Amino acid sequence: MEMVFRWYGEGNDSVSLDQIKQIPGVKGIVWALHDVPAGEEWPMDKILEVKKQADEYGFNIDVVESVNVHEDIKLGLPTRDKYIENYKKTIEKLAKAGVKVICYNFMPVFDWTRTDLYKEHEDGSTALFYEKAKVENLDPMDLVHEIADNPKFTMPGWEPDRLKDLSKLFEAYKHVTEEDLWNNLKYFLEQIIPVAEVNDIKMAIHPDDPPWTIFGLPRIITNKENIRRFLDLVDSPYNGITLCSGSLGANPNNDAADMVRTFADRIPFGHIRNVKIFENGDFIETSHRTTDGSVDIYDIVKAYHENNFTGYIRPDHGRHIWGEECRPGYGLYDRALGIMYLLGIWDSLERQEK
């Protein structure tokens, strides 16, 4: 297991490489070019600039998260081919810089969705929170009108550039079914996986977060059955998943540890995150400790250990603690504590084998 840490880049992150360097066990940074719009080819000079910054601290840049997929690809529009070609060229460039894994997602319109960025825990820390009824009762067109009346309107996890085109996007997806999305994903994979194979880069799709339909938009990477179907679309070791225990774990019917045991050879990258699920379907992100949430983090790490996992792991979202001001979910302190918890479990399992 190789421990890595998400970093948003100089000027975009409250966490510095110097601070990450002081966390025991971290070997690399998980990064992206966040200023490059989805669908555009990544410039080589910007890729090499990140590599130079990481090299100064002895970090690898093996994992990229994310090379975002353009909406036209998800929609299956005729224009998708030009964006797929750009994606292929980006894969080739990343390979030249030493990248080994690309994390991405295929969620229509929105990435992760939350209703509160700083919901308070009983101990005074705060974390990302999802109020299920609020999302279920929110009419998408109400969002459109809200944005029209208030240009500064925002919601957790929803980029302003997407919000301004929300009406067009909802209209575009009006008749897109889950089967349509599956077909469009297969088309994408059939184009890029051969390029990934040649360049020795493993593609790792991230599950939908949360793992169910929101606002009537299709979501398909949501459970064990669908992950199996996804892997069978293009049966290649370079077509894999980013096993995210927090995204999948928001649904109590999902057993992330079982998925690790089932799909271990197709998991090049794992996110480990804990969430506490409430009876009404709400959930809040917690510390990584098993007893603090609803996800059995111990069993997940044990599953990786049983399968001699040699891929990349990062602590996913953490709480905001000790008054830290940071990107929601991405504070330094709780993620560092999470690493020590995860490595503690791993070390104890190693000791038991001796």
Q: Does the annotation count 145 as an active-site position?
A: no
Check 288, 305, 317, 320 and give the catalytic one: 317
Please tell me the distance from the alpha carbon of residue 308 to that of residue 353, in angstroms, as a whole number: 12
Dig out the tokens for 262 from the structure.
């089932």
Check 13, 299, 316, 334 and give the catalytic one: 316
Question: How far is residue 209 from each of residues 206, 235, 243, 283, measured CA to CA in Å?
Answer: 9, 24, 12, 12
Phi, psi dihedrals of residue 129, rounded to the nearest 5°: -135, 145
Check 87, 330, 333, 341 and give the catalytic one: 330
Q: Contact 185/220 with Cβ under 8 angstroms?
A: yes
Q: Does the annotation count 103 as an active-site position?
A: no
Q: Does the annotation count 271 as an active-site position?
A: yes
Q: Does the annotation count 320 as an active-site position?
A: no
Q: Does the annotation count 244 as an active-site position?
A: yes
Check 271, 288, 305, 320 and give the catalytic one: 271
Q: Does the annotation count 130 as an active-site position?
A: no
Check 103, 130, 173, 206 and give the catalytic one: 206
Please tell me the distance from the alpha carbon of residue 241 to that of residue 234, in angstroms, as a whole number: 12
Check 244, 288, 299, 304 and give the catalytic one: 244
Catalytic positions: 206, 244, 271, 316-317, 330
